[in-house]
Structure 1
């Protein structure tokens, strides 16, 4: 499979034999591979070779799904393709976190089946998951290596002073972040978006949401924040930040951020009332242009904007506990 003929014989790649270097670079995601081309002329020549490009593309095919499984034999994460084939099952081996009450006393311990795995809705080459009865404790899974890292469970000083959250926490809204050391409260308009840089761990300002969303909020003065939380959500579709404006039983609009500097949003899809159900969230546009939705049942729904059809697309165990996996298919 690998071929040292793709690497110039006069080149030097340190102590790595050509075939080993080929196999390593073959596993690197395309985004990182572009940066590695600048390492040396030999790496640029290899990664620019059409034969290598074809081999790399075959190893990094369509997006995969990561979803939780929970049964009498245990729990963990499955990696599945969009045809429903389970490519790898990764049993959960992380240590248990015993739930406690507000006084710090351990509560009744639940079985692994009851305290099941929950996958957070990420779009990464890693999988973030937690447990049903200890959702403050987050784990990071590398499916390619099969290794799990448990993140620290300690809270910041500001959050530690608040009543403790137990059992069923809204983990999607508390997955990452850091409370400002100044304790300053950020105030923004409803419908706006606050952005957080995970690399610098800093808040980077407020992004004004789409004009149609602001107009709708202003016209609906009776809406509470709880109702707005059901109407509005964010998604990543085709590499773009998308505001999902779901007016239940009326319509669902997907507005794509096409220019972040000038804050330009473009409405690319508007779906009819039978799609605009409560707790229905778009999370992927497939190669055949269907928009896939998760909505808490055993099926992912698919909407085809070309003919307006809306039907079951793929059977899963629980479409709420699902993520998109963008990593390699090489397994250890």
Structure 2
């Protein structure tokens, strides 16, 4: 228990140095971060220990509870670090404005961007912000559609080099692709890095389906290829293209597990009664197959086990029966995003239209709000940094 009176804190400080360093380290590393932040006031030696990068890394490895980096709709300039109970652990000012949204990532940095080509990278621990240049790579300077661009961004970490890279796609009359390496400098301000032109994939892709897993960004191909008259056998609704951030090149295509079922259903591949999404869960690429069956909303989560052999495994099937499924079909099909799988197997799902997180057990199909707050979220990502670094 943490010292609660001045006398108790004095005794703890006096006895702190009598504990063997290893014993103190292993004792404190077991405590929750919020308690440790209070215990830093006990004495200088405890503060030095719990602020040491080695201790911070060990504590993060021992306490893997997920944190969120998010924006609320009622606060256009604030970026928050939250726990799953909705407790605000840190509010960062000056990093955002009304047009910037937190991109869905799983890193110790956050990426905030707009559809109209503004992007910045935020370090939640320090508050440092890098504003990325809006101008295109030299090879793309004279492209017509870049004057009024619709853009997609993704931030990834290349584990082999420790570099953070941002992927950008211009998505107007044609699709144009670029990559920028984020400066390792912690200073706030305009990034000095330049965008580099990247090749195109063999298909047009759906930008809003982009998801990053281990420095590879995956996309479903554009629905424009899905007309029955198209002769390419790869043109299935679950066909996936991927870009390798480390190699800075497109990989070969990947066939998903449900395209044959959709084609055989008789409703047509352009039917409004199903949607496909991509997600990153438990370190794997996941194909999310959502569909309406009369008054039942069905969501299947297919995990990619082997890219080279195209092997998928269905790990979750969720069924919700309710009249709201019919009256609010677009909410269920378009706006529900699976963001986390907890250690006990429960799922955390983000309802982007309502701005709420729900958590539930797929075995019972029972879902309830995660956060005990009425403040709707604007956008969110997963923060993998340490709470100790935030203080």
Give TM-score scaled by structure 1 length.
Answer: 0.68
- CA distance in 2 between partners of 1:317 and 1:160 (Å): 42
Alpha carbons 1:294, 1:319 under 8 Å: kept: no
Give the deviation of 1:288 after TM superposition: 3.7
Kept in 2, the 8 Å contact 1:68–1:117? The answer is: no
Match of 1:331 in 2: 390
Q: CA deviation at 1:146?
A: 1.3
Q: Distance in 1 between matches of 2:20 and 2:89?
A: 30
Match in the other structure for 2:245: 198
Task: Give unmatched runs, 5+ long, in structure 1.
Answer: 7-18, 29-52, 95-111
What is the alpha-carbon distance in structure 1 between the residues aligned to residue 384 and residue 146 of structure 2? 37
User: Partner of 1:65 in structure 2?
Assistant: 68
Corresponding position of 1:176:
167
* Partner residue, 2:55: 26
Q: Distance in 2 between matches of 1:237 and 1:331?
A: 25
Distance 1:182 1:199, change over 3 A: closer
Which residue number corresponds to residue 46 of structure 1? Answer: none
Compute the displacement of 1:193 (Å): 1.5
SS of residue paired to 1:162: helix
Structure with the bigger percentage of strand = 2
**Aligned to 1:310, what secondary structure does the other structure show?**
strand
Structure 2: tracts of 5 or more residues without a match? 1-15, 23-47, 156-165, 170-175, 178-196, 204-233
Q: Which residue of 2 aligns with 1:261?
A: 308
Q: Tell me whether 1:286 sits opposite 2:339 in the alignment.
A: no
Deviations 1:235-276 (A, max 9, x none): 111221100011135411000112223221000111114488
For residue 88 of structure 2, what is the aligned residue in structure 1?
A: 86
Q: Aligned in 2, Cα 1:122/1:318: closer, same or farther, shift over 3 Å?
A: farther
Superposed CA RMSD in Å reads 3.5
Structure 2: how far apart are the matches of 1:298 and 1:117?
16
Give TM-score, length-normalised by structure 2.
Answer: 0.59
Question: Which of 140, 143, 161 pairs up with 2:121?
Answer: 140
Q: How many residues align?
A: 268
- Change beyond 3 A, Cα 1:219–1:173: farther
